[in-house]
Amino acid sequence: MTTAPHAPRQEPCPDQALLLHGLLDGELDASNALRVEAHLEGCCACAEAYARLRAERQQRRQPGLRHRAPDALRERLAAAIAAEAAGAPAAPAPLAARTAPPGRPPREGGSVRSGVLRRIGGARGGLALALAACLAVFAVLPRGLEPGEPPLPDELVSGHVRSLLAAHLTDVTNSDQHGVKPWFAGRLDFAPPVVDLADRGFSLVGGRLDYINGRVVAALVYRRRDHVINLFIWPGTAAPGGLRRDRTSREGYSLLRWVQAGLTFWAVSDLNPTELSEFEQDFAARAPA
């Protein structure tokens, strides 16, 4: 008797990957939730991916996956952090008081600053503080983000998807570059170039303000067929010797970065990388050098 091979795992549609997470977490508005649910009814790959997400969340909620740190450890970490902040040796938790037999007071020197505990408190305080820092980093590090990896691409994809979900694609809707460019005047501390690329197959939709990497940036919106391109722009260091290009991808979205005329450009879209490169080349050729 032979065992049938497992069917290959199907990946969700690139333009639906993040929406599935939004639907699962209840973060979509009614119209977008209905649209995604209708898509799931006709797309086996996305329905399978959504079922996996639900199963994974259910597994993470099972009892036994979370363990509360012992009170002694929690108190020692709190004491170490407080002592480190004050510049004093760490004060270990009063273990002697807890381990003394019932009815018998702790022996002299068995307080927080007693004998051996006092001698090792300083050394262990630093270790405890380091352990607390490691635990904090582990707790807040997003899944799939390695230590030292810049989070900017993830933030840009979030800004791109947010503009699609929140019906806030543009603050100024205009296909004329001369109508979009003046709108940014007085709203930013730099003048983003606005280029008409309709003859190249990239229609200008408009522009808006966004908040990326700790600052307000310009976002120009272009469309090719049913694909939206968000072009984020802010001041940056000019690359020596001309343009500098970097490519990456996140969650099915392509990202392309270049630096030109003292500005940093990030193009984000579910458009295929080849066409996104064409957009970058056409924009760079017509933007001020």
pLDDT in tens, 253-270: 999 999 998 999 999 999
pLDDT above 90 as % of the chain? 26
Query: Hey, where are the domains in the chain?
Result: 17-60, 71-140, 152-286
| pLDDT at position 113 | 39
pLDDT in tens, 185-242: 989 999 999 999 999 999 999 999 998 888 899 999 999 998 999 999 999 865 444 4
| Phi, psi dihedral angles at 10 (to 5 degrees) | -90, 135
What single-letter amino acid sits at 79? A
Does residue 27 register a pLDDT over 80? no
Burial environment of residue 152 by CB neighbours within 10 A (0 to 12, 13 to 18, 19 or more) = middle
Which of the residue ranges 121-125, 160-164, 261-265 would you say has the lowest mean pLDDT?
121-125
Question: Residue 46 contacts by C-beta under 8 Å, 6 or more apart in sequence?
Answer: 12, 13, 16, 20, 39, 40
pLDDT above 70 as % of the chain? 68
Concatenating the DSSP letter of every residue in 106-157 gives PPTT-STT-HHHHHHHHHHHHHHHHHHHHHHHHHHSPTT--TT--SHHHHHH
| pLDDT at position 154 | 87
The overall pTM is greater than 0.85: no
H-state helical runs in 189-288 = 273-286
pLDDT in tens, 54-71: 888 777 766 666 667 778
Confidence grade of residue 5 (pLDDT, cut at 50, 70, 90): low
| pLDDT at position 167 | 65
Does residue 101 register a pLDDT over 60? no
| pLDDT at position 153 | 85
| pLDDT at position 100 | 46
Does residue 36 register a pLDDT over 90? no
| pLDDT at position 126 | 52
Looking at residues 271-289, what average pLDDT do you find? Answer: 92
Confidence grade of residue 130 (pLDDT, cut at 50, 70, 90): low
Supply 91's token pair: 């004060």
> Nearest 10 degrees: CA dihedral of 130, 131, 137, 139?
-160
Q: Name the DSSP class of 99.
A: H
* Residue 148, phi-psi category: left (phi > 0), alpha (psi -120 to 50), beta (remainder): left
Does 152-286 carry CATH code 3.20.20.70? no
Name 207's bridge partners. Answer: 172, 220
| pLDDT at position 140 | 38
How far apart CA 68 and CA 124 sit, in angstroms, is 21
Nearest CA to 232 out of 242, 245, 243, 222 is that of 222
CA 180, 195, 261 angle in degrees (round to 5)? Answer: 110
Supply 82's token pair: 């407080």
How far apart CA 128 and CA 138 sit, in angstroms, is 15
